[in-house]
Amino acid sequence: MKIVVTGALGHIGSALIRELPLYFPEADIIMVDNMMTQRYASLFNLPAVGRYQFIEGDVRNIDLGPVLEGAHAAVHLAAITDAAGTFDRAAELEANNFEATARVAAACQAAGVRLIHPSSTSVYGTQNELVSEDCTIEELKPQSPYATTKLKEEELVQALAKSGGLQAIVLRLGTIFGASAGMRYHTAVNKFCWQAVMKQPLSIWRSAYDQKRPYLDLLDAIRAIAFVIKSDLFDGRVYNVLTLNATVRDIVECIRQFVPQLQLSFVNSPIMNQLSYEVSCARFRERGFTFAGDIRRGVGETVALLAAANGR
């Protein structure tokens, strides 16, 4: 089996490439990354059990035909992912992310390769307490250029799945937490862990402290991707994938268990509104997937990795 992972050196990708050989022994793992974030360390110490090939290149301009030839599935993780940092870069983000998705999807369609397209639960913006994939158009109100582009990508992939013969699935992932070789610290849980360990006040969006949002353990993200491939679940549908719904207050109190002296600094941010909602993952559970992630484990693991750098 051949599995192609774009954006292979990022937060999710760097963990996924290490785990895929455990789920698919003897698989050829083709890693594609443009090295824009220079996460060379993601390639260090890959497990000996894996059969790897790294391709440095941008999926928007490399020849994807040979990359995808003979592949069973492609996991398209290549994207600019810093939602909070995209407000003044909307045009750049759309040109990068949407164009990359359009090109990968078309290449998968042409090559007969199954496509896993990770989207984001940040596409939701609802007054309802609970939201699912069957929500109304009015409940799809992305709160950032990143999320707006993700929704547009979803529509493209689903259109190709319905009319163009593309075998695909869209996974709306909750905010990722958990450590990996290529992790960054712009998402909520990771950023808070960094600030706490470095004895910096946690930057809390004032309007968000008691809002509920969906979070996804990195281990559950990897298990979900492997589950889709093993189950051949490429039905063209959208699935919410999340470990838990939690408030920022919940996350802060979890981190406090490991860093008791943490301090808070409340700030304003354009990315957040006054909405609070939970996201349902019942559809994915109904396909037989069981979430096993744990926020305390993920936070503890991340804090432990950082602690030695700050005398803890």
Residues of the chain with CATH 3.90.25.10: 188-212+245-310
* pLDDT at res. 9: 94
**What per-residue confidence (pLDDT) applies to 128?**
81
**pLDDT, mean of each 10-residue run, the chain (312 residues):** 96 96 95 88 91 95 96 94 64 85 96 97 86 91 86 96 93 95 87 94 84 94 98 97 96 96 83 72 97 96 86 64
Residue 84 has what pLDDT?
57
Q: Specify the pLDDT at position 126.
A: 77
Please tell me the predicted confidence (pLDDT) of residue 86.
Answer: 59
Bridge partner list, 31: 5, 54
Q: Name the CATH topology of 188-212+245-310.
A: UDP-galactose 4-epimerase; domain 1 (3.90.25)
From the CA atom positions of the chain, what is the Rg in Å?
19
Torsion sign over Cα 306, 225, 294, 83 = positive
pLDDT tens by residue, 60-77: 999 999 999 999 999 999
Q: Which two structure tokens, joined as six digits, stand for 197?
A: 């360990």
With helix as H, strand as E and coil as C, how does the chain read? CEEEEECCCCHHHHHHHHHHHHHCCCCEEEEEECCCCCCHHHHCCCCCCCEEEEEECCCCCCCHHHHHCCCCEEEECCCCCCHHHCCCCHHHHHHHHHHHHHHHHHHHHHHCCEEEEEEEHHHCCCCCCEECCCCCHHHCCCCCHHHHHHHHHHHHHHHHHHHCCCCEEEEEECEEECCCCCCCCCCHHHHHHHHHHCCCCEEEEHHHCCCEEEEEEHHHHHHHHHHHHHHCCCCCCEEEECCEEEEHHHHHHHHHCCCCCCCEEEECCCCCCCCCCEECCHHHHHCCCCCCCCHHHHHHHHHHHHHHHHCC
The CATH 3.40.50.720 portion of the chain extends over 2-177+216-242
**Residue 83, pLDDT score:** 57
Phi, psi of 265 (to 5 degrees): -135, 115
- Residue 226 is predicted with a pLDDT of 98
Q: How far apart are CA 158 and CA 169, in angstroms?
A: 8
Question: Topology of domain 2-177+216-242, per CATH?
Answer: Rossmann fold (3.40.50)
CB neighbour burial string for 262-283, b if at least 16 within 10 angstroms, e if fewer: beeeeeeeebbeebbbbbbbeb
Q: Choose among 117, 118, 115: nearest CA to 167.
A: 115
